[in-house]
Amino acid sequence: MTKMLVSIVIAIYNEEEIIQNCLESLKSQTYKPLEIILVDDGSRDKTLETIENLKFKIENLILLKQNHLGPGPARNLGASRAKGEILVFVDADMTFDQDFIKDLVDPILKGKTIGTFSKNEMVANKNNPWSICWNVNRNVPSSRMLPENYPDRAPVFRAILKSQFDKVGGFDATGEYTDDWSLSRKLNIQSTVAKGAVYYHSNPSTLSEVWHQARWIGKNEFISGTFVRKIKSLILYSFPLSLVIGVYKSIVKGQISFILFKIWYNLAIWISVVKSFLRESKTK
């Protein structure tokens, strides 16, 4: 089986506290050859300084920069500079088992599929109370990002042949929460599960992070994309329903802090829906 060069593309925005763990995890991958392409999406913290200090420690590390346009455009920029035949898209708040890339691209190398995802996406901060609440809200066990019975096909590609990515012009460049679903729509095909590819991803761990993420989620097309969806969402995420659901789930799950979480999370989404009438930017 011929090994292909894999280009790992990471869109980064204000990631100074977490990017080092991500890069060191990728440095330890058993699969070779690799190149790592970082695309800074207009960071305002010390992300770039942190990366400059790491560049000499990590081989084949490429840093690109753009204005703050969102993850979709950032990933497209990274893919346009990639030399690999396979593209892998990960986030800065992820870390990976050593065989993650090997297991992720294996079905592609064997010609079984054009792209893959992994169901073994584990919660890195599973003991954090707000992370627990995040998964209670999603009805998922606290240790996993996806339920164990999740289908073997998904609308999100974690790895994909570059030729297929280029054929449809990459991700939609709206900056929306759902940009990474756009490949599946354009290709009219879903990704295939890559068994054994284990990685770790953090849920929001503070109320500030919960607010920021929920505000971005509230901008996606399924919540605030049309007038009808906006009206439904204003009702669904209203305070009375938030309170009822928060109290009920906090009792059922034995997680009293979920009451505050649910009100806070839904308020952030509700505000995003209201601001969508004013055409607020859809970037994070």
Q: How many distinct structural domains can be found in the chain? A: 2
To the nearest 10°, report the CA torsion of 168, 173, 179, 182: -20
Query: Tens digit of pLDDT for each residue in 204-256?
Result: 999 999 999 999 999 988 898 899 999 999 999 999 999 999 999 999 999 99
CATH code assigned at 69: 3.90.550.10
Distance CA 83, CA 193 (A): 24
Distance CA 182, CA 57 (A): 35
Mean pLDDT, residues 1-6: 86
Range of the domain at 272: 207-276
Asked if residue 82 and residue 194 are part of one domain, the reply reads: yes
- The model's confidence at residue 283, banded by pLDDT at 50, 70 and 90, is low
Mean pLDDT, residues 28-34: 96
Query: Tens digit of pLDDT for each residue in 39-80?
Result: 999 999 999 999 988 887 888 999 999 999 988 999 999 999
The Cα angle at residue 118 between residues 116 and 122, in degrees rounded to 5: 160
Asked if residue 227 and residue 123 are part of one domain, the reply reads: no
Query: Between 129-138 and 258-276, two packed helices, what is the crossing angle to 10 degrees?
Result: 70
**Residue at 282 is within a domain:** no
Query: Tens digit of pLDDT for each residue in 76-127?
Result: 999 999 999 999 999 999 999 999 999 999 999 999 999 999 999 999 999 9
Asked if residue 220 and residue 184 are part of one domain, the reply reads: no
Asked if residue 101 and residue 230 are part of one domain, the reply reads: no
* pLDDT at residue 196, as a whole number: 94
180, 201, 222 - which closes a domain? 201
- The model's confidence at residue 130, banded by pLDDT at 50, 70 and 90, is very high
Distance CA 55, CA 59 (A): 8
Asked if residue 80 and residue 173 are part of one domain, the reply reads: yes
Asked if residue 112 and residue 143 are part of one domain, the reply reads: yes
Q: How many CA atoms lie within 13 A of 175 on its CB side?
A: 13
Helix, strand or coil for residue 276? helix
Percentage of the chain exceeding pLDDT 90: 86
Q: Is the pLDDT of residue 175 over 80?
A: no
Distance CA 247, CA 259 (A): 6
* pLDDT at residue 179, as a whole number: 67
